[in-house]
Chain A
Amino acid sequence: MRAAGANLVSFITIGVLVGCGVTLLLERSLSRILLGVILIGNGVNLLIVFGGRSGEAPVVGVSDEAAMSDALPQAMVLTAIVITFGFTAFLLAISYRSWYLSGDDEVPDDIEDREIVRRTAQHEVSAADLTGEPPTADPQQVDAPAPPREEGPG
Chain B
Amino acid sequence: MLVLLILHLVAAVAAPLLVRRWGPRACYLLALVPAAAFGWALVRTPDVTRGGAVVETYPWIRELGLDLALRMTTLSWLMTLLVGGVGALVLGYSARYFPPDALGNSRFAGVLVAFAGAMLGLVLADDLLLLYVCWELTTVFSYLLIGHSTERRSSRWAAAQALTVTTLGGLAMLVGFLILGHHAGTYRWSELAQRPLPGGAYLVVAVLLILLGALSKSAVLPFTSWLPVAMAAPTPVSAYLHAAAMVKAGVYLLGLLTPVLAVVGPWRPVVLIAGLATMLVGGWAALRQTDLKLLLAYGTVSQLGLLTVVVGVGTADAALAGVAMLLAHALFKAALFLVVGVIDHGAGTRDLRELSGLRRTAPVLTGVAVLAAASMAGLPPLFGFVAKEAVFAAFADQPLVLAVLVVGTVLTVAYSIRFIWGAFADRPGADATDLGRIAPSLLAPPALLAVVGLVAGPAAGALDHLLRPYPELFGAVGKHLALWHGLTPALGLSALALVGGTALFALRGPLAPVLARLRWPVTGQQGYEWTTHRFDRVALNVTSVTQRGSLPQYLGLILIVLAAVPGGAVFLIEPWEQPLELWATPAQPVVLLVVCVAALLAVGATRRLTAMLLVGMTGYGTAMLFVLYGAPDLALTQFLVETMTIAIFVLVLRRLPERFSTRPLRRSRWIRRAIGVIVGTTVAALAVGAAAARQARSISEEFPHLAVEEGHGRNVVNVTLVDIRAWDTLGEMAVLVAAATGVASLIFHRSRTGPRPRRREVAEDDAPAGRAVWLRGGATLHERQRSIVLEVVTRLISHTAVLFSLYLLFSGHNAPGGGFAGGLVASLALTMRYLAGGRYELVEAAPIGAGTVLGAGLLLSVGGGVVSLIADGTVLESTRVDLWLPLIGHFYLVTSLFFDVGVYLVVIGLALDVLRSLGAEVDRHIETAGGSGGGLAGQRGEAR
Contacts and interface: CB of A to CB of B under 8 A. Distances in A.
B228, B628, B634 interface centre (most CB from chain A within 10 Å): B634
The 8 residue pairs across chains A and B that have the minimum distance between CB atoms? A19-B680, A15-B684, A113-B549, A148-B348, A103-B937, A23-B676, A139-B525, A86-B739
Interface in A1-55: 3-29, 31-32, 35, 38-39, 42-47, 49-55
B795 to A, nearest CB: 27
A116 B544 contact: yes
Contacts of A57: 630-632, 816
A10 B157 contact: no
B641 A20 contact: no
A83 B595 CA distance: 21
Interface in B548-598: 548-552, 555-556, 559, 580-585, 588-589, 592, 595-596
Contacts of B703: 58, 71-72
Contacts of B321: none
Nearest to A88: B645
B349 interface: yes
Contacts of B588: 4, 7, 9-10
B735 interface: yes
A46 to B, nearest CB: 6
Contacts of B537: 123, 125
B374 interface: no
Interface in B492-551: 519, 523, 525-526, 529, 532-533, 536-537, 539-541, 543-544, 547-551
B707 interface: yes
A46 B625 contact: yes
Contacts of A51: 687, 690-691, 694
Interface string A78-101: 110111111111101111110111
Given A8-B580, A24-B602, A131 B532 contact: yes
B630 A4 contact: yes
Interface in B100-133: 102
Contact of B691 (A6, A77, A81): A6
B720 A71 contact: yes
B549 A111 contact: yes
Nearest to A56: B630
A46 B415 CA distance: 82
A128 to B, nearest CB: 10
A16 B584 CA distance: 19
Contact of A26 (B556, B688, B815): B556
A38 B339 CA distance: 74
Nearest to A20: B599
A58 B690 contact: no
B661 A29 contact: yes
6 contacts: A11-B580, A35-B615, A82-B736, A120-B543, A130-B160, A140-B519
Nearest to B153: A132
Interface string B690-729: 1110100011100111011000001111001100010011
Contacts of B645: 38, 85, 88
Interface string A100-142: 1111111101111110110111010110011111111001111
B68 interface: no
B676 A81 contact: no
A142 B294 contact: yes
A10, A60, A133 interface centre (most CB from chain B within 10 Å): A10
Interface residues of A, number: 128
A68 B750 CA distance: 51
Given A62-B714, A139-B529, 16 more contacts: A11-B691, A12-B684, A13-B595, A19-B679, A26-B555, A31-B608, A44-B683, A45-B622, A50-B629, A101-B935, A126-B540, A139-B523, A140-B288, A146-B348, A147-B348, A151-B344
A6 to B, nearest CB: 4
A90 B739 contact: yes
B229, B653, B700, B720 interface centre (most CB from chain A within 10 Å): B700
Nearest to B657: A104
B191 interface: no
A49 B655 contact: no
B73 interface: no
Contact of B687 (A14, A38, A72, A84): A14
B734 to A, nearest CB: 11
B622 A92 contact: no
A69 B532 CA distance: 62
B635 to A, nearest CB: 10
Contacts of B691: 5-6, 11, 50-51
B743 A135 contact: no
Contacts of A10: 583, 588, 592, 625
Contacts of B536: 125-126, 129
A59 B816 contact: yes
B105 to A, nearest CB: 10
Contacts of A102: 937
B648 interface: yes
B654 to A, nearest CB: 10
Given A87-B739, A103-B941, A120-B540, A28 B680 contact: no
B295 to A, nearest CB: 12
A150 B649 CA distance: 63
B99 interface: yes
Interface in B643-692: 644-645, 648-649, 651-653, 655-657, 660-661, 663, 672-673, 675-677, 679-681, 683-688, 690-692
A59 B703 CA distance: 11
A17 B618 contact: yes
Contacts of B656: 31, 95-96, 99, 105
Given A17-B618, A31-B656, A89 B739 contact: yes
Given A60-B716, A125-B540, A93 B747 contact: yes
Nearest to A148: B348
Interface string B910-933: 100010011000100100000000
A38 to B, nearest CB: 5
A110 to B, nearest CB: 4
B922 A96 contact: yes
B637 interface: yes
B935 A15 contact: no
B634 A77 contact: yes
A79 to B, nearest CB: 5
Contacts of A70: 698, 700
Contact of A145 (B344, B539, B728): B344
B28 interface: no
A74 B153 contact: no
Contacts of A143: 154, 158, 229, 231-232, 291, 294
Contacts of B704: 58, 60, 65, 68, 71
Interface string B229-261: 101101100000000000000000000000000
Nearest to A67: B630
A42 B523 contact: no
Contact of A71 (B348, B717, B941): B717
B99 A152 contact: yes
B599 A26 contact: no
A88 B683 contact: no
Contacts of B653: 31
Nearest to B671: A26
A110 B633 CA distance: 42
Contacts of A131: 156-157, 160-161, 532
A147 to B, nearest CB: 7
B6 interface: no
B361 interface: no
B883 interface: no
Contacts of B102: 152
Contacts of A114: 549
Contacts of B228: 142
A14, A28, A88, A131 interface centre (most CB from chain B within 10 Å): A131
